[in-house]
Amino acid sequence: MYQLTINNLSEQEFLSEYWQKKPLLIKQGFTDFEDPLDANELAGLAVEESIESRIVTNHDNQWNAHHGPFEDFELLSEQNSTLLVQAADHWHPDAAQLLEPFRFIPNWRIDDLMISFSTPGGGVGPHLDQYDVFIIQGEGKRHWRVGMPDSKLKQFAQNNSLLQVEQFPAVIDCILEPGDILYIPPGCPHEGYAVENALNYSVGFRAPNQQDLFSSFADHVIDTETGNARYQDQNLQLRESKGELTNTEANKIKQLLQSLLDDECLFKSWLGNTVSQPKHEMDLMPPEELYSQAQVELLIADPDTLFERLGGTRAIYQATDNSIIFSVNGQNYTLPLEDLTAVKCLTDQIQVTANELNSSKNSLLFIQTFTTLLNEGIWFC
């Protein structure tokens, strides 16, 4: 287990003073840091078709990005190159442990763990990310510069593929050593170049924008065949201008849209569905023999059973007045309130004992739901 120390700040102090506000260098956030993998293992992941990977090189100021999967690593030269692997937490359980210390930030905001290996001089160049990120230094050293957001900074595509930003003044300029961490809020320009062969782990977050939200809400309305109420004007009065669409009419249209957002059941089911959607493939391994409901009841009754959650699983819940919407990887399950303790354990923890699950008397619906999740390989024991 990795134990995070944020300089001399409490987690709440970090949230109040730095989160989404300004970058922070966390010296020895992890003391005696041990890498969960080495460069060879990372390369092993980048060979896989289902894993998103890239090699970025910058020889003689010429930037190039190549997309995996890779059959060999000739591009990963001894200088000025970086191999990056996305969503490594979905594929490497030990690496996934690196997300755990950051779960003091709500789980639905956490996106994935990206791992990079850079040779001296290697990096992805100066750029901005739209999301918060913690960059953990593993093996080796890397020189980082981080600036404050500046809307005047011009972004441009290097070689048609790498989005970079022009040079910026740095508020943090440091050489990260193993166990050091950089927190970078959205929109802060940053660049990091390896001083010696270096492994870096980026804990990335998500924050949906209005376009994503509107488009996914519209999809949900269509999928669930809701939203069929139509504009009505039974009390129409004759008026002087026939060309005008009045403010009252515009407001009625707005209200028609608003009433869908105000439908708590529709809104929460869409929200659970959309924020629990994984962006990357999952390493699903369903059990060879499916569990029956009776077997799951026995497992939950046995105090020695330990259930583990598959890496990359997105599990959240929302409480309504009379039920819980439990959302797992884009699928919603509606459960009675009496299952709250069990659902809280499954969403708060990546490991849960049968004892913890059975601390309240579980409903039949819970047993059915958990049987489905075990049979899909999302939880296993």
Q: Which residues contact ligand SIN (rule: CB under 6 A)?
A: 82, 116, 123-124, 129, 133, 135, 190, 192, 200, 202
Phi then psi for residue 112, to 5 deg, are: -155, 175
Q: Out of ligand SIN, Co ion, none, which partner does residue 123 contact, by CB within 5 to 8 A per kind?
A: ligand SIN
Quick one: 41 or 129, whose CB is closer to Co ion?
129
What is the nearest approach in angstroms of ligand SIN to the Cβ of residue 217?
29
The CA-based dihedral angle spanning residues 39, 44, 45, 48, taken in that order and rounded to the nearest 10 degrees: 150
* Minimal distance, residue 369 CB to Co ion, in Å: 38
Of 81 and 347, CB closest to ligand SIN: 81
- The secondary structure of residue 265, as a DSSP letter, is H
Q: How many CA atoms are closer than 13 Å to the CA of 164, on its beta-carbon side?
A: 21
The listed partner (ligand SIN, Co ion, none) that binds 371, CB under 5 to 8 Å by sort, is none
Residue 116 vs 358, nearer CB to Co ion: 116
**Which among Co ion, ligand SIN, none contacts residue 329 (Cβ within 5 to 8 A by kind)?**
none
Q: How far is the CB of 103 from ligand SIN (least distance, A)?
A: 20
At closest approach, how far in Å is the CB of 194 from ligand SIN?
9
129 binding Co ion? (CB under 5 A): yes
Q: Which residues sit opposite 116 in a β-bridge?
A: 84, 200
Amino acid identity at 205: F
CB 59 within 8 A of CB 50: no
Amino acid at the residue 301: A
Structure tokens at 343: 């659902």
Q: Which does 269 bind (CB under 5 to 8 A by kind): Co ion, ligand SIN, none?
A: none
Tell me which residues in 155-194 interact with Co ion (CB under 5 A). none
Q: Which of 28, 291, 364 is nearest to 177 (CA)?
A: 28
Distance from C-alpha of 368 to C-alpha of 254, rounded to nearest angstrom = 41
Q: Give CA angle at 334 (333, 340), nearest 5°.
A: 100
Q: Minimum Å distance from CB 312 to Co ion?
A: 20
Q: Which amino acid is at 49?
A: E
List phi, psi (to 5°) of 49: -65, -40
Q: Which is nearer to Co ion, 141 or 363 (CB)?
A: 141
Q: Output the CA torsion sign for 302, 305, 310, 314.
A: positive
Q: Which is nearer to ligand SIN, 20 or 359 (CB)?
A: 20
Judged by beta carbon, residue 76 or residue 310, the one nearer ligand SIN is 76
Residue 232 to residue 237: CA distance in whole angstroms: 13
In the list ligand SIN, Co ion, none, the entry touching 135 (Cβ below 5 to 8 angstroms by class) is ligand SIN
Measured from the CB atom, the residue of 82 and 269 that comes closer to ligand SIN is 82
Q: Which residue is nearest to Co ion (CB)?
A: 129
Q: Which does 220 bind (CB under 5 to 8 A by kind): Co ion, ligand SIN, none?
A: none
The two most distant CA atoms of the chain are separated, in Å, by 80
Q: Which of 98, 105, 108, 117 is nearest to 40 (CA)?
A: 117
Complex with ligand SIN: residue 141 or 332, whichever CB lies closer: 141
Shortest distance (Å) from residue 130 CB to Co ion: 10
Half-sphere exposure of 178 (CA within 13 A, CB side): 13
Q: Which stretch binds Co ion (CB under 5 A): 31-39, 126-134, 208-216, 294-302?
A: 126-134
Q: Least distance to Co ion from the beta carbon of 98, Å?
A: 17
Q: Rule CB under 5 A: which residues touch Co ion?
A: 129
